[in-house]
Amino acid sequence: MARVLVTGSTTGLGLAAAKALLDAGHGVVLHARNSQRAADLGSLADRATGVAIGDLADLNETRNLAKQVNALGQLDAVIHNAALPAEPERIPTAQGHARVLAVNVLAPYLLTVLVRRPSRLVYLSSGLHTSGRESLDDIDWTARPWNGRQAYSDSKLFVTALAAAVARRWPEVRSNAVDPGWVPTRMGGATASDDLTLGHETQVWLVTTDDPAAAVSGRYWYHQQIVRPARAVSDRAFQDGLLQKLMTITGEPFPSITDPARA
């Protein structure tokens, strides 16, 4: 049985994935943004390996979240599920970053480099990543007029490229990105047209199955099928530039494969 951290597991696809994993007998570390959200988990928390608490919009809380997770023991997998939708204005975090960038990109990066390295990683993407700008200029939207839909699309391009970069830098780790589809969660809205169940099945499958079809890394998935992502995702120069940006913003270097502190 696998031990899996699911970020953003108090609602939506994260909650569905956590329930599916628990029902299958796996150990799950749940994640809640704050104590109130953790309390809302009710009996689900009693079935879990633990509940880690931290607001992913705050870099310091994300660092503390990584410490909580590490204290619970070695994980087999992480599903980086938590994300924010497009926001109508640039909402700064405690550190002054655009909140969409912080939650959708900076937090997955920090957890990747600070949580002891599992054998499988899944990053939630979106079909809108194909509308992301293939540019690393002003990724924090401090110079440009704010465009919420573009900022969201950019963030999903970045996190998809992060999954591919991790796969290349850590070849012993299966790192993949998943498009869950446009599903009727609180984030997707009631008019979303994709199947809610299918929205979480691929990521659960990728972190638990022994199916040879899932024994790959650096891929982009939709409903258990590999599809072609945006061109920039597979561009090594774009991946490396993104990692450098994230290292600069967070102050956390991306560890090498031989770094014992992260293994």
- Long-range (24+ apart) CB contacts under 8 A made by 27-33 are 27/1, 27/2, 27/3, 28/3, 28/4, 29/3, 29/4, 29/5, 29/69, 29/72, 29/75, 30/6, 31/5, 31/6, 31/7, 31/65, 31/82, 33/8
Percent of the chain with pLDDT over 70: 91
Residues 6+ apart with CB under 8 A from 42: none
Q: Which of 204, 171, 181 is nearest to 77 (CA)?
A: 204
Choice among 152, 220, 222, 245 that is catalytic: 152
Residue 139 domain-assigned?
yes
Strands 225-227 and 220-222: antiparallel
Residue 3: φ, ψ to 5°? -110, 120
Q: Quote the CA–CA distance of 115 and 75 in Å, as a whole number.
A: 9
Residue 10 domain-assigned?
yes
In this prediction, residues 231-260 reach a mean pLDDT of: 92
pLDDT of residue 256: 79
156 annotated active-site: yes
**Ramachandran category for residue 253: left, alpha or beta (phi over 0 → left; psi -120 to 50 → alpha):** beta
Residue 207 domain-assigned?
yes
52-101 pLDDT, tens digit each: 999 999 999 999 999 999 999 999 999 999 999 999 999 999 999 999 99
Angle between helices 236-250 and 148-169 (to 10 degrees): 100
111-152 pLDDT, tens digit each: 999 999 999 999 999 999 999 999 999 999 999 999 999 999
Residue 263 domain-assigned?
no
Beta bridge partners of residue 177, listed in sequence order: 123, 220
Q: Which structural domain, as residue segments, surrounds residue 87?
A: 3-250
**CATH at residue 137:** 3.40.50.720
Number of domains in the chain: 1
152 annotated active-site: yes
pLDDT of 8 higher than 90: yes
**Ramachandran category for residue 91: left, alpha or beta (phi over 0 → left; psi -120 to 50 → alpha):** beta
Residue 226 domain-assigned?
yes
78 in Cβ contact with 115 (< 8 Å): yes
The sign of the torsion formed by the CA atoms of 235, 240, 246, 248 equals: negative
Quote the pTM value.
0.93
Rounded to whole angstroms, the maximal C-alpha distance in the chain is 49
Residues 6+ apart with CB under 8 A from 249: 97, 106, 140
Residue 257 domain-assigned?
no
pLDDT of 14 higher than 90: yes
Choice among 123, 156, 220, 245 that is catalytic: 156
Residue 9 domain-assigned?
yes
* Number of Cβ within a 10 Å radius of residue 190: 7
Residue 87 domain-assigned?
yes
